[in-house]
Amino acid sequence: MGNNLTIYLELLDEGTPTWRPVEAELIADGVYRIVSKNHDPEDEQWQFPTGSFVRCELRQLSGSKCIVAISLAERAV
């Protein structure tokens, strides 16, 4: 599909809200598939694993609008 861009996933068990930029493929309006790999899963627990289809929305993070994964989504056809 070739519509890859950066989305943000929340890191779990960090104590404070922490976000990881990852590469994702646009599948449908607001739905992305995470293509980045977590190279250090013992240190970083991602909110959603590689290959997940996620629903995203624009949110304000550190003064910038970013595309943030908010929930799992069924694969859009």
Strand 45-46 to strand 53-61: parallel, antiparallel, or no bridges (unpaired)? Answer: unpaired
**1-32, pLDDT tens digit by residue?**
567 999 999 999 998 999 999 999 999 999 99
Rounded CA-CA distance 70/67 in Å is 9
Task: Establish how many alpha carbons lie within 13 A of residue 31's alpha carbon, considering only the half-sphere containing its beta carbon.
Answer: 12
Rounded CA-CA distance 59/6 in Å is 13
**24-70, pLDDT tens digit by residue?**
999 999 999 999 999 999 999 999 999 999 999 999 998 999 999 99
What is the model's pLDDT at position 16? 92
